[in-house]
Chain A
């Protein structure tokens, strides 16, 4: 190296000392449901922020500059995993230059690793669409799995911020007790949905439907991640000509053209649901999200 490069180096080094000190644990969640859970469990010791909104498909995010800035200053990362964020999270982690949130560090927390996943493919081949080798990643729609994830996240918070481990334990107990009561209430309310048949746009409601014992008889997407085609929708209609499902479920960030086509042809109502926290005006946390979705499902005549 010659001396001409020295001013440049000095200029860089002069910037190294100016990192702001964070007052508490900053959590960067990949999806709003995990930001909500982190906030519920962390209280005022945690500042949780989501990289995506309820209107963004978490498959299709770019590792854009604003996310790199958030990842740089995070103490913890709270993501779904199971390849949901495979298109951008690895790149975001590399670009963040943040050692604390790299894989295998305590600050790297994946929800899907804390629970068993359903719909694990026997073989993975892209001719089947954009399938996830590890199984269906949309675990926040099973309230029991969500509670298991809460336990594991509390443990992780206590590792990251041991000074406040009592605080996190109390927050967890309060959350778990309220959540368990809420499950009892939801199950009572949703009893009438048992055995109902529905179409889904994408397999992102599987955990919810399993929990409520609702049967998904067809997907509008011919294959996961492949947009609905006219031919596929016609085939669905023909198959269920005499026993039309009660409704089509779509997440309100998804393209509703296919669902509307079915409604216009066969009168199957479209229920456009918030997929996560912030997806509707009333869905401000995990409790109100579940409330809102159940209310909308039960409102279908």
Chain B
């Protein structure tokens, strides 16, 4: 009956036709192969900036190879491997490798393996779908740009007339700050999300999240201003560990999207904002010691090909030095213009302005980036 199953679609034909022409017969003959997609991401940046993932000059962003498909009628599986090049070394990082249930009763949904945590609005999105060249400063400081880890998640989609999803995640925790834990479960998260439409052209979503971090706190801040981010505790040259930790992280996020008649093909306005608060930084922390940050962004796609956006954010941090803290602050503004000749390619120009204290590399930078996708059609996630 079904030849093209959405979870194991036919887009592999395209990739096979171009890259693996010898396989054409086999891939076409077997539509149940997983979807394969490849993201190509490259960047040129004029200056080093504080808390950035990218150094100045030419560089590669997240080159991502993904495969996904239905395992059977009960599970689907997904793999995303990210290739990154840092200081001449190429690393392969497994960003997501998970299995997920399909259609459990009562709106339940279970995922296990390694995956992006669903806290906040941006964190569960893959970075190649971002509307700016880098995540907001608050994400880079507190989540290492994006937090993924080994663990398990259970969500329930409640049978309410509006969208209401609640979820709990339990993670190993070692990929958050690189800290040690005596517990098997180093990180718990709780998340609740609501959403809906109004007046036909508007969609909204609100979320609140709590992350409980049971790992040992970061004891001594590393030098963040050498143009790279934190060093891995497992001996790798590079990691995404968050540089600032605390026992409790609270996040509130809000998104509003508008499109003429709800038709996002012609144009779309996206407003998004998130607020982060982290306390119980370590045993020396008083009630006045906490990390806090927020960002707000507006992006307007004014015709099918062009979009422009502004983002502003601020993050106030406590840099750990043994038994005391140094205050740090980073205020970042971004202006971007993006051109997307089709919805598989984007070229983006961005201006970044940084102000603050406690960082060496507070700079203005211009970044030029391309993000292109080959293979399976990407998902239009909200």
Task: List chain A positions with a Cβ less than 8 A from chain B.
Answer: 1-2, 5, 8-9, 12, 15-16, 18-20, 53, 55-57, 59-66, 68-69, 72-73, 81-83, 85-91, 93-100, 102-105, 108, 110, 113, 123-126, 129-130, 133-134, 225-227, 253, 255
* B21 CB to nearest chain A CB (Å): 10
Chain A: CB-nearest residue to B378 = A87
9 contacts between A and B (CB under 8 A): A2-B185, A15-B106, A57-B265, A62-B382, A64-B195, A65-B163, A83-B4, A124-B14, A134-B4
The answer to whether residues A88 and B103 also contact, given A59-B265, A97-B109, A226-B341 and a CB cut-off of 8 A, is no
A130–B5 touching, CB < 8 Å: no
Q: Which of A53, A81, A108, A125 contacts B14 (CB 8 A)?
A: A125
Contacts of A83 in B (CB 8 A): 4, 9-11, 377
Residue of A69, A72, A225, A226 with most chain B CB atoms under a 10 A cut-off = A69
A97–B157 touching, CB < 8 Å: yes
B305–A227 touching, CB < 8 Å: yes
The answer to whether residues A97 and B4 also contact, given A60-B264, A255-B266 and a CB cut-off of 8 A, is no
* B343 CB to nearest chain A CB (Å): 8
B103–A255 touching, CB < 8 Å: no
B342–A126 touching, CB < 8 Å: yes
The answer to whether residues A63 and B103 also contact, given A82-B4, A125-B17 and a CB cut-off of 8 A, is no
In B63-112, the 8 Å CB interface with A consists of 70, 73, 76, 100, 102-109
Task: Give the A-B pair count, Cβ closer than 8 A.
Answer: 198
Say whether B18 faces chain A, with CB atoms less than 8 Å apart: yes
B9–A99 touching, CB < 8 Å: no
A88–B342 touching, CB < 8 Å: no
Number of interface residues of B (CB under 8 A): 73
Q: Which of A55, A102, A133 contacts B10 (CB 8 A)?
A: A133
Residue of B76, B261, B265 with most chain A CB atoms under a 10 A cut-off = B265
Contacts of B154 in A (CB 8 A): 12
Q: Which of B14, B70, B103, B379 contacts A100 (CB 8 A)?
A: B103
Docked CA distance A102–B185 (Å): 33
B13–A124 touching, CB < 8 Å: yes
A225–B342 touching, CB < 8 Å: yes
Task: List chain B positions with a Cβ less than 8 A from chain A.
Answer: 1-7, 9-11, 13-14, 17-18, 70, 73, 76, 100, 102-109, 154-163, 165-166, 168, 170, 185, 188, 190, 193-197, 200, 203-205, 257, 261-266, 303-305, 341-344, 374, 377-382
B106–A16 touching, CB < 8 Å: yes
Chain A: CB-nearest residue to B205 = A65
Docked CA distance A88–B162 (Å): 19
B103–A102 touching, CB < 8 Å: yes
Docked CA distance A18–B158 (Å): 9
Docked CA distance A1–B18 (Å): 48
Q: Which of A61, A66, A94, A130 contacts B195 (CB 8 A)?
A: A66
B7–A90 touching, CB < 8 Å: yes
Docked CA distance A12–B103 (Å): 17
Docked CA distance A96–B380 (Å): 15
Contacts of B5 in A (CB 8 A): 103-104
* A81 CB to nearest chain B CB (Å): 7
